[in-house]
Chains A and B, each alone.
Chain A
Amino acid sequence: MTNWEPVLLANVNRPNSEKIETYLRYGGYEALRKALKMTPDQVTAEVKASEIRGRGGAGFPTGVKWGFLPKDAPVKYLAVNTDEGEPGTFKDRLIVERDPHSILEGVIIAAYAIGANRAFVYIRGEFFLGVKRWIKAISDAYQKGFLGKNILGSGFDLDVSVHRGAGAYICGEETAMIESLEGKRGVPRTKPPFPAQKGMWDEPTIVQNCETLANVPHIILRGAKWYASIGTERSRGMKIFCVSGHVNSPGNFELPFGIPLKEIIYEHAGGVRRGRNIKAVIPGGTSTPILSSEKINTPMAFETLQGAGSALGTGAIIVMDETTDMVEVVRRITRFYVHESCGYCFPCRIGGQRMLSSLERLAGGKGSNKDIEDLEYVAKGMYGRTFCPLGTGMAEPILSALRLFRPEFEMKAAESDAGYF
């Protein structure tokens, strides 16, 4: 078993872990003190040198993104993505509820680096405890002088406010999130311009995931060299992997990038329930292609998962044992995306409905081979052709399931009373 002393999750199991006193007792806000003695450019350079990539799903290099901001812009914003809604993912909720200051410290350092005096936290409406924890953390940070005017005598000002979403997965997409923060329907915007050029109220805005921000204090405190020495060449540092489904001990496991999928499942998450075999694994949340059990030795990193035909996504590993009905799994996942489609572009809006109808017929014993063909035709047609990645994310599990488990779909059609036509 890989020996790894948790860094990001070092605090979460301590009593009163969410309190500022606890955070301070274990070295909290030391990184902020250090960062404020550096220049903003030095902080950005350090983050860039760490080669950390975003943990919200897309894996974009964080330091590079900060470098995109127009230098001369008078107003810049930081938006903190706490919308975590990708099925299978439950890491940001854990950090927000149990160690909100670790994200907040990252927020303040990031805002200092990019020159933002205003940060917005956008949190999923369902995370009621998370909302409370965010608000408490922010007000305690104001009290201690970590927020507000002239932070720790540095001359840097920052205000942070919390904004509740209201039940829309698409608002996790960065431009939809900005629309929602502006008080509108969460429909994504055209990119480019990217938020770093034109975001909130048309001002340059950096959107960052909670886990990404929680890494920042450690990068500043221990240095980019230390950070980049962990993980793999193209996936630096450590990652919180969320393991759920048919395992004995589901949960969040912080481990260095590059650890084999098999090791996470069998040694950290306690192996498969009832001693069964694995049939399939979703390695990075439901928007990532399904892997068959043959790929179980794949190292968990951006580049290796891509090589295996999937993606790291949010690092949410969903394990399915040999008894799993793959048609039902795909139906359920598709139902989620159809429910969450914002309806703006037709390949996603109409294609989704059509694929779901086929899947419901197949799963309900009323499908035919025509449904399978239609499913494949629509999924291939949508793939890469939707306005935002949600539509393509909807096609991924379907296409991968048809590639890997087509006989199961055919069996459903053969067993159905609709027959062939």
Chain B
Amino acid sequence: MNNRKEFKSPVGGAIVDPAKRSMMLAALYIAQEQNGYLSEEAIQQVAKRLNITPGDVYSTASFYSLFRMKPVGRYVIQVCEGISCYLNDGAERVADYVSAKLGIKLGETTSDGKFTLETVQCLASCGTAPAMRVNDQLYENLSPAIIDDILERLMGEV
């Protein structure tokens, strides 16, 4: 099965093992777990492990919206702004509600570093809209009461 050809990296000219290179996204996820975002050091580490240049790693990482180049809060709240959530009185309505409750705007992090608020594209919960994610947990059929529950539980956590 191993006739994967060795090929040249477009950037550094280093020899790249394609099988190693294919571990890029997985490596970036692991690297991101340490600080919640990809620090310069994390990028360097991934580059070293995969034997490619840091520029190459950065170029790939920056393509994907789930990889973050800046620090984020402990809980990243992603509110769906898709069409079905909008039609179900969600999207901005949900984002505005969360925003008011946490006192931050879209793209911001609370001063205690606990919450970051973002929007996200359709979460494939259109049949159970409106929807949002908090870290890796999906919440559907949102109402103000449900959002209150979720946020108050997370606010209470230390």
Chain A residues near B (Cβ < 8 Å): 74-75, 84-90, 92-93, 117-118, 124-129, 163-169, 180-186, 201-203, 242-246, 250-252, 282, 286, 316, 318, 320, 324, 328-329, 332-333, 335-336, 339-340, 342
Interchain CB contact under 8 A, A182 and B21: yes
CA distance A306 to B64 in the complex (A): 34
Q: Which of B23, B81, B86, B122 has the most CB of A within 10 A?
A: B122
From A127, A183, A202, B25 is in contact (CB under 8 Å) with A183
Q: Mark B25-43, 1 if CB is under 8 A from A, else 0.
A: 1101100000000000000
- Is B133 interfacial (CB-CB < 8 Å)? yes
B31 to chain A, nearest CB (A): 12
- Is B111 interfacial (CB-CB < 8 Å)? no
Interchain CB contact under 8 A, B122 and A88: yes
From A92, A250, A336, B82 is in contact (CB under 8 Å) with A336
- Is B144 interfacial (CB-CB < 8 Å)? no
B60 to chain A, nearest CB (A): 5
Interchain CB contact under 8 A, B21 and A88: no
CB-CB nearest in chain B for A90: B124
Q: Assess A163 versus B123: contact at CB under 8 Å? Given A88-B84, A250-B129.
A: no
B127 to chain A, nearest CB (A): 4
From A74, A117, A186, A244, B84 is in contact (CB under 8 Å) with A244
Chain B residues near A (Cβ < 8 Å): 1, 3-5, 18, 21-26, 28-29, 50, 59-60, 63-67, 81-84, 86-88, 91, 120-129, 133, 136-138
Q: Assess A128 versus B137: contact at CB under 8 Å? Given A87-B122, A88-B84, A182-B18.
A: yes
From B5, B87, B133, B136, A320 is in contact (CB under 8 Å) with B87
CA distance A185 to B81 in the complex (A): 24
B23 to chain A, nearest CB (A): 6
Interchain CB contact under 8 A, A166 and B136: no
CB-CB nearest in chain A for B125: A90
5 nearest A-B pairs in the assembled complex, by CB-CB distance: A183-B24, A166-B64, A167-B65, A167-B66, A244-B126
Interchain CB contact under 8 A, A318 and B125: no
Interchain CB contact under 8 A, A201 and B63: no
CA distance A90 to B83 in the complex (A): 13
Interchain CB contact under 8 A, A90 and B24: no
Interchain CB contact under 8 A, A250 and B24: no
Q: Which of A84, A117, A167, A251 has the most CB of B within 10 A?
A: A167
Interchain CB contact under 8 A, B22 and A183: yes
Q: Specify which chain B residues have a CB less than 8 angstroms from the CB of A242 in the assembled complex.
A: 126-127
Q: Could you give 30 example pairs across A and B, Cβ below 8 Å? A: A75-B3, A87-B122, A88-B126, A89-B126, A90-B126, A92-B124, A93-B124, A125-B66, A128-B136, A166-B29, A167-B120, A168-B64, A169-B121, A182-B21, A182-B22, A183-B22, A184-B24, A186-B64, A244-B87, A245-B126, A250-B126, A251-B127, A252-B127, A316-B126, A318-B84, A324-B87, A328-B86, A332-B86, A333-B83, A336-B121
Interchain CB contact under 8 A, A185 and B1: no
A148 to chain B, nearest CB (A): 14
Q: Specify which chain A residues have a CB less than 8 angstroms from the CB of B1 in the assembled complex.
A: 75, 117-118
Q: Specify which chain A residues have a CB less than 8 angstroms from the CB of B121 in the assembled complex.
A: 85, 87, 169, 336, 339-340
CB-CB nearest in chain B for A127: B124
Q: Assess A202 versus B5: contact at CB under 8 Å? Given A183-B60, A318-B84.
A: yes
Given contacts A87-B122, A87-B126, A252-B127, 20 further A-B contacts (CB under 8 A): A88-B83, A88-B84, A88-B122, A89-B124, A117-B1, A125-B66, A183-B24, A183-B25, A184-B21, A244-B84, A250-B127, A251-B127, A282-B83, A316-B126, A318-B126, A320-B87, A329-B83, A332-B81, A335-B81, A336-B82
Q: Specify which chain B residues have a CB less than 8 angstroms from the CB of A181 in the assembled complex.
A: 22
From A125, A328, A336, B122 is in contact (CB under 8 Å) with A336
Q: Specify which chain A residues have a CB less than 8 angstroms from the CB of B28 in the assembled complex.
A: 166
CA distance A333 to B85 in the complex (A): 12
CB-CB nearest in chain A for B86: A332
Q: Which of A87, A165, A186 has the most CB of B within 10 A?
A: A87
CA distance A335 to B83 in the complex (A): 10
Interchain CB contact under 8 A, B82 and A87: yes
Q: Specify which chain A residues have a CB less than 8 angstroms from the CB of B3 in the assembled complex.
A: 74-75, 203
Interchain CB contact under 8 A, B87 and A245: yes
Q: Specify which chain B residues have a CB less than 8 angstroms from the CB of A201 in the assembled complex.
A: 4-5, 18
From A118, A128, A165, A251, B138 is in contact (CB under 8 Å) with A128
CB-CB nearest in chain B for A171: B64
Q: Specify which chain A residues have a CB less than 8 angstroms from the CB of B66 in the assembled complex.
A: 125-126, 166-167
CA distance A246 to B86 in the complex (A): 10
Interchain CB contact under 8 A, B127 and A184: no
CA distance A329 to B84 in the complex (A): 10
CA distance A342 to B29 in the complex (A): 21
Q: Specify which chain A residues have a CB less than 8 angstroms from the CB of B50 in the assembled complex.
A: 183
Q: Which of A165, A186, A244, A286 has the most CB of B within 10 A?
A: A244
CA distance A150 to B63 in the complex (A): 40
A196 to chain B, nearest CB (A): 18
Q: Specify which chain A residues have a CB less than 8 angstroms from the CB of B23 in the assembled complex.
A: 183
